[in-house]
Structure 1
Amino acid sequence: MVSSTALLREDLTTRAAYISDASIYRRMPAAVAEPRSVEEIRELLALAREKGWPVVSRGGGTSVAGNAIGDGLVIDTSRHFNRILSIDPETATAVIEPGVICDQLRDAAAEHGLTYGPDPSTHSRCTIGGMVANNACGSHSVAWGTSAENLVAVTVMLADGREVELKAGGSSEQALTEALTGIRDNHRAMLRTELGQFPRQVSGYGLHYLLEENGFDVAKAFAGTEGTCGVITRMTVQLVRKPAQTALAVLSFDDSFDAASAAPALRVRDVATIEGMGGDLLDALRMRPGQEDAGQELPEGGGWLYCEVGGETLEAAEARAHEIRGIVDAAGKVTVRNAVVVTDPAEVRALWRIREASAGIVTRLPDGGEAWPGWEDSAVPPEHLGDYLRDLYALLADLDLRGIPFGHFGEGCVHIRISFDFATESGVEVYRTFIDRAAKLVHRYGGSVSGEHGDGRARSALLSTIYSPEALQAFREFKRVFDPDGLFNPGVVVDPEPIDQGIRPGPGARKFDLTPVHAFSHDGGSVAGALNRCVGVGACRSDVGAMCPSFVATKDEVHSTRGRMRSLAEMLRGENLKDGWKSKETLEALDLCLSCKACATECPVNVDMATYKSEFLHHHYGEGLRSFVGRNRRPMAHAVMGWLPVLARLMNLVPGVPTLANAAMSVKPLQKTVMKLGGVETQRDMITFADKPLASWFRKRAKAAGDDLRPGEDPQGRPSVVLWPDSWTNFMSDGPGKAAVEVLEAMGYRVLMPMGDVCCGMTWHSTGQLDALKREVARTLGVMEPLLEAGYPVVGLEPSCTVMLQDEITELLPGDPRAKTLSERTVTLGKFVADHLDAGGQWPFGTLEVEGHSAEAVCQVHCHQKSMLGYDPELKVLDKLGVDVDVVGGGCCGLAGNFGFEPGHLEVSRTLGERELFPKIRAAADGTLILADGFSCRTQISQGTEAEGLTLAEVLRSALSTGT
């Protein structure tokens, strides 16, 4: 037996990461536990009773109403208590533990042609336990219902440690069954007239399921109790048969009101989704970096409905989808402006991605203002939704508030984030006024204050507005049957907390007035504004895409992007983490951030943890030599790795020193001693240096050829291009640089390089030495000035350096026009070659073949390129060369510059390499090219496999020999 105390995490680092969910509320837990078994949960409940802690169950932490936070013990079942115990294809059921992720179950069921019906937009990271607790629904609930309707049986642990099974017909305990029967009998008329009146009436407890006509289904009645009645330990859920084929019809309208008014007519056979959104959502999306053209697939309009239609064949599904517009037209209520039908999976996925990112997108309004949940989940009978929305907007206008609607229009449920001002007392008063009036408004339409997120701390106090005293009494009786001592999630549903208690971004959220080094231009120059981006939707906990690699490796909330954002926000607040920038807890939370920048684009609100980490490290340690001494000194790796460009530059002042250094480091004992003294992970291999810098080779080569390397007209009439000699290519791995020179010249260009040493400052940025970085970049801009004035394009080879030049330097030197010019002129080699190809330029390359067949390649895209630059131009060039590319989809390789060389990071680094990169390389056929433009990626590949990575420049040079 494992002692319950061994399971507890009572440190401030962990507790701060769990202080909020996806809501506006915060509660600092006394402890967090991640049980692995039923017995451990039983021990934890006994400990909580002993210490007087309330207990909150938590899954993915994506609850938007404050359902999954508390000031006692948080029991997180997502990390370990997450097994699919069985799937029965004959009965179409699955037995699971509560921590199973929605997509995890859907993927397992898909092997049998089945799926789990409820699919909220957080399906890639929310747990089934959390979904059942909140009675979550999702876009397909029109066809497949809510979580309650898909729950067959549930086993629950009560406060005294006993387990009870709940199902249709009663429970495993006679006394419990009799008590629930009494509640039903005493309130039968109310249950029939107040509850279960329309599909998305989720507020309160679903006691109507106790009625005889509903099978006295205690399991379904327990769904939606929001962790207030016990801890779910096991569930049997219903699975559904997936349609053989689907098509997506997207209808456009003048505005979201018309879309809402049209939705009820579409509740017909074969239509599985009726999702709606307004034009403001697209405006908000398009203000995101790289999303300026988002939504071009949508038909023109100001509001849209997404209608997925199923059929036995693709032709049947497509034909039925084409009928959707006619159904709306026949209803005669509103006019459809346009409609498209899409069947291509990639196009369908692109359209759905817009809708599913809505919860994150709308936390920033089109003008950049903040928008918050709180009234994001109201629902009315579908036939009233259009009128309800109009009145809701009138209320917003009356209080000078703004918001962007989206949601499950076919079931009358609308999500909206609103521009509440929580930073001032007057703003909180407006919030209270709005919520009170909105609750009365939704009640006037016979609606519910929650349509799938549950009531939580956001709306439990509003139940008295929409329900009778008898209904509230029945809720209290139900709660007491399961939880007589009030151990579970107090303040939710029954005996609710005030809606303005403990608001996370509220007054007093900033004790420390912090002046950043970065401009934070997208957040008004404010660190707090940047940290307010994270509302907690938890996309960083997904196993899909590149974000967040350290969470993928550890499954620890602390090491998710969201967990780090919570720690940073608590640091600003100064209430629990009291040391500001010197916070050891925040340093610990940031430690495993790889600075891969995946969150900067994959997070729906573009959280940029790499920048926040850099800013924190700068303030935490300070700058200069003094930062490497004393109690709060920097790791020695920051000196060795951060100042590596300067060290390499100094080493090359004396010819032959790099060669001698390589020879000395080939002696393993000496290498390991030097690495240990330098604070570098000794289980790594030391990197090696080029015998001479690329720039020296280039100048000597040009001198021998009589080439003039100064700006000006080329005697041969060739256009000029500047090749950026980044520190990695210049001092460590010059092969790609030499190849790039040959390639660009073969394409008809005069290649130039800066006439002095240059550096983008990446190593100083990743170690948070920002004063040194700004000095280095300012010096570099001086070197580059003649080339910038000449108007030449700049080609980068190392992706991380290219991102620094394109993105970071303008945030660090916002007032320097040279930084802006260099940012605008810099492109990757792939982009430059692809543009050259599009322009009909000289093409000296042939087709690469291996034994008469197209060459195959496994390609690791550098995390910074994947996140910030994209890889489509490179793929276009490789396709032109006849290379069949298998792109590694797992994001960061795991080395991430200095990260993988710092002590304590090796396990995470190797785990990420083994996620997809290493297995694909090992499984590749002989002759397969291993492509990796990043120096870090190639280092990780060589140290984790027997392969050696090639760059695009080297592949292009290989193709020169086959060109005509």
Structure 2
Amino acid sequence: MTDTATALEPLVARLTETAPGLRVETGPGSTGLYAYDASNYRVPPRAVVFPRSADDVVAVLRACREAHVPITARGGGTSMAGNAVGPGVVLDFSRYMNRILDIDPVARTARVEAGVVLDALQSATALHGLTFGPDPSSHSRCTLGGMIGNDACGNRSVRHGRTSGHIEALEIVTADGVRAVADRTGLHPVDAADAERVARLEADVRALIGDNLAPIRTELGRIPRQVSGYQLHRLLPEHGFDMARALVGTEGSCAVVTAATVRLVATAQASTLLTLGYDDVVDAAEDVPEILRWNPTAVEGMDEAIVATMRARRGPDSVTGLPEGRAWLYVELDGDDQAAVDARAADLLDVLKAHGRLTGGRVVDSPAERRSLWRVREDGAGLAARLVDGGESWPGWEDAAVAPENLAAYLRDFRKLLASHGLTGVLYGHFGAGCVHVRIDFDLATDTGRAATRRFLSEAAALVVEHGGSLSGEHGDGRARGELLEVMYSHTMIRTFAAFKEIFDPEGLLNPGVIVAPARLDADLALHTPSEVLPVETLFSFPHDEDGFAGAVRRCVGVGRCRSDSGGVMCPSYRATGEENDSTRGRARLLQEMVRGGTVQDGWRSEEVHDALDLCLSCKACSSDCPVGVDMATYKAEFLHQHYKGRIRPRSHYSLGWLPLTSRLVGHMARPVNALLRGPLGKLLARLGGVTTERRIPAFASRRALRRTLRGVKTGEPAKTLLFVDSFTRAFRPEVAGAAGRVLADAGLACTTEDDLCCGLTWVSTGQLSLARRIMARTVARLDNGDDRPIVVAEPSCAAALKRDVPELLDTEAARRVAARVHTLTGALTDLAAPDWRPPALPDDVVLQTHCHEYATFKSRHPRDLLTRLGVRNVDEAEGCCGLAGNFGFEEQHYDTSMAVAGLALKPRLDGIDHETPTVVVADGFSCATQIDHLAGDQGVRALHLAELLDPAADRPDQPGESS
């Protein structure tokens, strides 16, 4: 085979000639990202191509065939089996080929391009009362093309089965660049000129099936989740030579799918959810056959490790509604009438109680509880990857399936197998379909550990076959299980698989290394190279990661939740740009490459890593929303510190990073400085400081104003709290400090104030960590003085810095003691206020922008919940980052991205305000309030801090619009 490196240059030239405008990327900043999916494997490609049409795909496949370069088709990159990585060209369909081409509500079909994300299709079809049945837990980022490649299923597969059961036609490009349509009756050319080639291909397949009828009929299609191998039984005469469904599950190894026509199903009119508790997963599995008699839509299982990790990462209230137990089943029932569905659920619960295995069970009536519970299950893969005790676990044997009636026996023997190898597995999965997901604490970083992993996987394959099962139940074989197919299938069937692929791909260029002629399952492991290539002595302590920075960035296992377009806050830059290198996953993967000295060779000086981190808003949402707790804001701060060590920094690092110090000086001459900044000289100073001139520079407050407002805080009562007046409040809105003090006193939490300290946040966000540590050390020394009163911080970002950055940078007991005392105003009023406290009358409607750092760091103590509890009827929350994000949105090069992020959630809420009706906008974060002023200040909209809303001394506006 021609060396791909040698073939790359003429390949790119050929693509430029045959597909003008085609986006082709070959640098380490792209190939490093696409070297990974969500599996254990790392295979750096030579190039990444982003097609916009089927014609682009034809051009790529023809050029790659000429150059003899392999091709791997990729959707969301969420494969756990290594199906979406390859050594040649990776085709990313998710970036541009993501259009819904047609929805026919009468025929109940939709035609979609391969890169359409499942949630996008579901949103569009919901308008017609329809849905696509299979619903993998990765529904917010997996693509239809990827689902077709793996024959994906999902939580409701008990009802809707696999993707293959919902495919009417596939639009494909063959390895030699011929376009065709595979449907329920065969294969048809798109262009008349290709008729002979397509007819010959179909004839060869028909001949192959005819020669192997007996093994196909006896070995394939035995259980509902038999995904391993090729689905050649779909081509049997009794199935009508269904070429479309036969190509589902081929993992891009036979043809490249560019579009599909899928069948839709009606949305249920009524549904309910039961949660059932058990002592262990085997007891849960024993009840599955009985549950299936009740025609459920979903029967999902998980063990206690996942629940414990969720509660540790997102707070104790993040999982509610589970009965007592150490393992649980979710059972969903549906129907046309809610009362009838509820009655069935109650009857089923009674039957299961009579069986005697339940430790508890309940019907979950609350929609909020249901959403919370489903999120735990959907984040299972990520939560199981990095558990609450810090232990790591890996896929590899995460997808075996048996007949549901054999599940309990299989799980019993499987746990014995784990124990015999000294391994621990975190179990979850589609118990109603007999499909078990498990992440196991393999040692993949040493030769001894990898050898032990091979032995275990071989024995696990034999075990599942002994129980009549399949190596893969929905993730596909990929690089993880392809080598083991000989354990499951006869030599005749293995040869038949190989012959089928050869008909479609005689030169073996399509996704090589999977299913046919598979790579060794322990080849190309991402942990094969030790993570000590790059010296990683860091200023942050990374206390939750055994290997420090290397272990922290290794948290990312590629599940890709950061690529979601909705739900949670992560990742605002990806939502604004749609680019993989602007996702939390993309950045983490490049940092992994940097640590190992892989495609990224320049270590801390890497410009590729710098560019990938550039649009990170440091919002910290990933530290909460990411199932494995990646904290990209901290990684970015550490990288910037190392990257600029001993070098001149960007101008904005000085003008904005040192803002707490300069604002303190300006406070003594605020009036003339403000006048200066409003004039032409202000714009010049902004440019010189690397600050955008598109925004008004906020007016500085005088020290006198701060003193005046703090005088109003004196209550005469014994102080129960300490109000920490942060740099932003002190410099720009001292009135918030006064309001916060009065609210605390009103709530029985009278305070004293501390207004001469800084949390160091701006130095952290600009990566000036040595200075940040000095400032933090001074602050901790003052606060850790034997006073154990709660510290209340009105500015959420500063509260988060004190809570998390300070102990992780200083790594001292004093810092941890101070951090333990820190509350936001919301948290203080939620947890510490007098039980009988009631604030002044509140408006019925509030538009809320929650600060990202508060969302991420203070978990379930959110303003939305407090406002609702205090009597606000309608809290319209702009769920997402405001886009300003501290220094980010003030930097000239980031203004456009800042506004794009604001346009995702905040701006639509502000645009929807009816100025004829009093509407209050609440934003505790100074950045958020500044962005709101920038977006809607000209319309008279002003954001109130929660303290101002609850201030007992506040004047309540009566005129429409004034309260905004």
Same fold (TM over 0.5): yes
Give the partner amino acid of 1:134: N
Counterpart secondary structure, 1:250 = strand
Measure the CA separation in 1 of the matches of 2:516 and 2:121.
Answer: 32
Matches within 5 A, 1:397-412: 397-412=419-434
1:658-678 deviation digits (Å, cap 9, x = unpaired) = 2111111111x3222111111
Query: Is 1:363 aligned to 2:378, yes or no?
Result: no
Aligned match of 1:660: 672
Counterpart secondary structure, 1:504 = coil
Tell me by how many angstroms 1:52 deviates.
Answer: 2.9
Tell me by how many angstroms 1:135 deviates.
Answer: 0.3
1:677 to 657, 677, 688: 688
1:569 to 578, 588, 592: 592
Measure the CA separation in 2 of the matches of 1:175 and 1:425.
Answer: 47
1:25-84 deviation digits (Å, cap 9, x = unpaired) = 011111111111111222222332343321111111100000001111111111111111
Paired residues of 2:692 and 2:891 also in contact (CA < 8 A): yes
Give the partner amino acid of 2:766: T
Paired residues of 1:665 and 1:671 also in contact (CA < 8 A): yes
Measure the CA separation in 1 of the matches of 2:595 and 2:503.
Answer: 42
Query: Is 1:93 aligned to 2:115, yes or no?
Result: no
Counterpart secondary structure, 1:719 = coil
Q: Which moved more, 1:39-48 or 1:600-609?
A: 39-48
Paired residues of 1:724 and 1:794 also in contact (CA < 8 A): yes
**CA separation of 1:881 and 1:264: change in aligned 2, threshold 3 A:** closer
Aligned match of 1:812: 809
Measure the CA separation in 2 of the matches of 1:274 and 1:917.
Answer: 38
Paired residues of 1:125 and 1:542 also in contact (CA < 8 A): yes
**CA separation of 1:597 and 1:482: change in aligned 2, threshold 3 A:** same
1:939 to 930, 934, 943: 930
Measure the CA separation in 2 of the matches of 1:860 and 1:464.
Answer: 56
Tell me by how many angstroms 1:122 deviates.
Answer: 0.3
Aligned match of 1:179: 204
Counterpart secondary structure, 1:323 = helix
State the identity as a percent: 43
Tell me by how many angstroms 1:718 deviates.
Answer: 3.0
Give the partner amino acid of 1:798: E
Q: Structure 1: give runs of 5+ residues left out of the alignment.
A: 629-633, 708-713, 849-853
Measure the CA separation in 2 of the matches of 1:600 and 1:338.
Answer: 33
Measure the CA separation in 2 of the matches of 1:132 and 1:750.
Answer: 61
Measure the CA separation in 2 of the matches of 1:801 and 1:435.
Answer: 49
Counterpart secondary structure, 1:227 = coil
Aligned match of 2:919: 928
Q: Structure 2: give runs of 5+ residues left out of the alignment.
A: 1-16, 189-197, 958-964
> CA RMSD, aligned part only?
2.1
Measure the CA separation in 2 of the matches of 1:418 and 1:771.
Answer: 39
Matches within 5 A, 1:128-143: 128-143=144-159
Paired residues of 2:868 and 2:875 also in contact (CA < 8 A): no
Measure the CA separation in 2 of the matches of 1:128 and 1:877.
Answer: 40
1:130-151 deviation digits (Å, cap 9, x = unpaired) = 0011000011111111001111
Query: Is 1:865 aligned to 2:880, yes or no?
Result: no
Measure the CA separation in 2 of the matches of 1:643 and 1:503.
Answer: 44
1:229-282 deviation digits (Å, cap 9, x = unpaired) = 111111111111122100112222221012122213322353111111223332
Paired residues of 2:285 and 2:407 also in contact (CA < 8 A): yes
Matches within 5 A, 1:309-324: 309-324=333-348
Measure the CA separation in 2 of the matches of 1:28 and 1:587.
Answer: 20
Paired residues of 1:102 and 1:125 also in contact (CA < 8 A): yes
Paired residues of 1:510 and 1:574 also in contact (CA < 8 A): no
Aligned match of 2:943: 949
1:645-668 deviation digits (Å, cap 9, x = unpaired) = 11122334xx3x22111111111x
Give the partner amino acid of 1:201: Q
1:535-590 deviation digits (Å, cap 9, x = unpaired) = 11110001122110000001101111000010000000102211211111111111
Aligned match of 1:647: 662
Matches within 5 A, 1:96-175: 96-172=112-188, 173-175=198-200
**CA separation of 1:643 and 1:108: change in aligned 2, threshold 3 A:** same
Length-normalised TM-score, structure 1: 0.93
Aligned match of 2:544: 522
Tell me by how many angstroms 1:821 deviates.
Answer: 2.5
Measure the CA separation in 2 of the matches of 1:386 and 1:745.
Answer: 59
Query: Is 1:475 aligned to 2:489, yes or no?
Result: no
Paired residues of 2:288 and 2:431 also in contact (CA < 8 A): yes
Query: Is 1:301 aligned to 2:300, yes or no?
Result: no
**CA separation of 1:141 and 1:480: change in aligned 2, threshold 3 A:** same
1:821 to 817, 821, 832: 817
Matches within 5 A, 1:194-233: 194-233=219-258
Measure the CA separation in 2 of the matches of 1:182 and 1:512.
Answer: 56
Give the partner amino acid of 1:403: G
Paired residues of 1:4 and 1:43 also in contact (CA < 8 A): no
Measure the CA separation in 2 of the matches of 1:404 and 1:177.
Answer: 44
Give the partner amino acid of 1:939: T
Measure the CA separation in 1 of the matches of 2:953 and 2:846.
Answer: 14
Counterpart secondary structure, 2:59 = helix
Measure the CA separation in 2 of the matches of 1:547 and 1:488.
Answer: 34
Q: Which moved more, 1:244-253 or 1:683-692?
A: 683-692
Aligned match of 2:797: 800
Paired residues of 1:94 and 1:238 also in contact (CA < 8 A): yes
Paired residues of 2:320 and 2:373 also in contact (CA < 8 A): no
**CA separation of 1:743 and 1:381: change in aligned 2, threshold 3 A:** closer
Q: Which moved more, 1:635-644 or 1:263-272?
A: 263-272
Give the partner amino acid of 2:671: T
**CA separation of 1:71 and 1:750: change in aligned 2, threshold 3 A:** same
1:360-391 deviation digits (Å, cap 9, x = unpaired) = 11112453211000110011122221111122
Tell me by how many angstroms 1:290 deviates.
Answer: 3.6
Q: Which moved more, 1:765-774 or 1:251-260?
A: 251-260
Tell me by how many angstroms 1:785 deviates.
Answer: 4.1
Tell me by how many angstroms 1:177 deviates.
Answer: 2.2
1:201-225 deviation digits (Å, cap 9, x = unpaired) = 0000000101122221110000000
Measure the CA separation in 2 of the matches of 1:37 and 1:217.
Answer: 26
Counterpart secondary structure, 1:393 = helix
Query: Is 1:846 aligned to 2:833, yes or no?
Result: no
Measure the CA separation in 1 of the matches of 2:472 and 2:283.
Answer: 22
1:833 to 813, 826, 829: 829
1:263 to 278, 288, 298: 288
Query: Is 1:34 aligned to 2:50, yes or no?
Result: yes
1:449-477 deviation digits (Å, cap 9, x = unpaired) = 11100000111111111101111111111
Aligned match of 1:907: 896
Tell me by how many angstroms 1:744 deviates.
Answer: 3.5
Give the partner amino acid of 1:303: A
Paired residues of 1:318 and 1:343 also in contact (CA < 8 A): no
Give the partner amino acid of 2:176: D
Aligned match of 2:77: 61
Paired residues of 2:706 and 2:734 also in contact (CA < 8 A): no
Tell me by how many angstroms 1:721 deviates.
Answer: 2.7
Aligned match of 1:710: none
Aligned match of 1:3: 19
**CA separation of 1:509 and 1:599: change in aligned 2, threshold 3 A:** same
2:553 to 531, 535, 544: 531
Paired residues of 1:694 and 1:730 also in contact (CA < 8 A): no
Measure the CA separation in 2 of the matches of 1:920 and 1:405.
Answer: 41
Tell me by how many angstroms 1:176 deviates.
Answer: 2.4
Aligned match of 1:737: 737
Measure the CA separation in 2 of the matches of 1:962 and 1:6.
Answer: 59
